[in-house]
Structure 1
């Protein structure tokens, strides 16, 4: 007795299903709200140095290549103030879903201008890379609203791009460590030196644990090297790996005071946000009952 089996889909179809999975549009709506509101918070409390840098003598300003290519001017107090107002206004519009594509593009351009001001004074934060990708992808994710359970390839492609951007931050960090320090980097005293030089009391306590610094370095480089697995894992293994990186960032903040909030926010691209904040979630049903 023979059993008919359906032919396997061609590689092109499988790649498209992976690169642009069907994702509920509601997830994009929720993610947009989070990303654009965080963009405002970022300029107020994290990357908030452009107003101060605009008052520094222009002789210290060395524009990075991107600012030269885009012909962005040297910062001055009036320019930075107007830029900030434009960025906040556009971010609020994009978060509301009104003119999301136009407003999103304005946020992208204004945010790049804002952040690269600091980069042009020799301060580069690599954790902003995934956030740049998010701001680039979201304006082209299509229309979305709260409660819209329609699945969309455009939404899935935007989510996948953001996921790839987050993974690149980790994987390229491992590549850099190996490129400049070799695999012997993990056997050096990088973490111990950082804890001793600028660590918190919690970091100093961790140094009393035998071999903690070396073990943490090996764990760090192995996890970063394995980070592309995030793009292929599902359900519990995926959630566990994402939680590991969140815990890693929490420990980094608790020991060294270094935050990676833009990258952490982008890790939400791996989460089914509609199940937590969607209209049919317990939180969403509670909000709808109170609004009646």
Structure 2
């Protein structure tokens, strides 16, 4: 079991994953959860902190606290995405984003698509330095990615458990998807809803998929990419029908992918060199500047 948890992976993979995670924090602040800043204007008596907020305890959000959280998290995440000071910046980003999520989810609604992403932020600082494209295999990198993968799968499995625990088997034959389509459905969802019993079949399929998601760890390696692709296709359909994105969960799920093959900076440098080489080739093809017998350049023709 310990060997499976710490199966070595290339350091370049965790370096790419780390950059992606920290850049998503920036995107989350600016595009996905900018509404968290509005919590600063809500009266403090409406703040009902999550259990962890009561346990620590964490402060009641104020305009100053939320503003400091936003800017500190934005700047430190950009710095952490470069890979510098991975432990110091990593722990700082995790602590600040954790508090950001407590503020976001302490007013009556808790999103479960943040679990795997929060785990990724918690384990990435343990890896230490990792360079993009580095093929050196590391058990620390393998452990960080494996723990994130487990959190991703737990998000699915525990979601099914919650459905059956609180909704019972009737959840699968109820009107859950129908209500979601009425609230936030797309034109595609409207077409699907017209097919008799298709929504019931979809609800049964969702629960089956979530309960069987741990199989991703036991299928042969050659099939694992196909299983992860199915995970992504599930969320693609979800976005296309009821406009729920699960964006942080999708980022955490890239821990299953061979991200070390993605080296955008190296590709950009190669393109730049090729562009420079092409320019030189054009000049050579044009030929040398003609000269007079004395060796001086020919005068320009008006």
TM-score scaled to structure 1, two decimals?
Answer: 0.89
1:287 to 244, 248, 268: 268
For 2:60, the equivalent position in structure 1 comes to: 74
Paired with 2:90 and 2:266, the residues of 1 have a C-alpha distance of 29
The yes-or-no answer on 1:227 pairing with 2:210 is no
| Shift in Å, 1:62 | 1.4
Match of 1:189 among 160, 175, 179: 175
Aligned match of 2:254 in 264, 268, 276?
268
Give 2:119's aligned residue: 133
Is 2:105 the counterpart of 1:124? Answer: no
Kindly report which structure 2 residues correspond to 1:145-224, keeping only aligned pairs within 5 A, or say none: 145-224=131-210
| Distance across 1 between alignment mates of 2:234 and 2:166 | 23
Partner of 2:233: 247
**Which deviates the most, 68-77 or 167-176?**
68-77
Cα deviation 1:116-135 (Å, max 9, x = unaligned): 11211112111001111000
Deviations 1:104-162 (A, max 9, x none): 10000100111111211112111001111000010002320012111000000000000
Q: Secondary structure at the match of 2:49?
A: coil
Instruction: Tell whether 2:43 aligns with 1:43.
Output: no
Q: CA deviation at 1:234?
A: 4.2
User: 2:172·2:204 contact (CA, 8 Å) conserved in 1?
Assistant: yes
Q: CA separation in 1, counterparts of 2:228 and 2:173?
A: 26
SS in 1 for 2:114: helix
Measured against aligned partners, the alpha-carbon deviations of 1:211-240 in whole angstroms (never above 9, x if no partner) come to 210111111111100011122334442122
| Contact 2:13–2:133 under 8 Å retained in 1 | no
Residue 259 of structure 1 is matched in structure 2 by 245
CA RMSD of aligned residues (A): 1.6
**How much has 1:287 moved relative to structure 2?**
2.7
Residues 145 and 223 from structure 1, CA distance in 2 versus in 1: closer, same or farther, beyond 3 angstroms?
A: same
- Measure, in 2, the Cα distance between the counterparts of 1:270 and 1:46: 23
Residue in 1 aligned with 2:72?
86
| Partner Cα separation in structure 2 for residue 135 and residue 213 of structure 1 | 36
User: Which among 59, 65, 82 is matched to residue 51 of structure 2?
Assistant: 65
By how many angstroms is 1:22 displaced?
0.8
Runs of 5+ unmatched residues, structure 2: 274-302
- CA change 1:234–1:158 in 2 (3 A) is farther
**Residues 26, 145 of structure 1: 8 Å contact kept:** yes
Greater alpha carbon shift after TM alignment, 29-38 vs 242-251: 242-251
Deviation of 1:266 after TM superposition, in Å, equals 0.9
* Maintained 8 Å contact 1:164/1:231: no
Matched positions, count: 273
Q: Gaps (5+ residues) in structure 1?
A: 1-14
Could you say what secondary structure the match of 1:222 adopts? helix
Whole-angstrom CA distance in 2 between matches of 1:36 and 1:289:
25
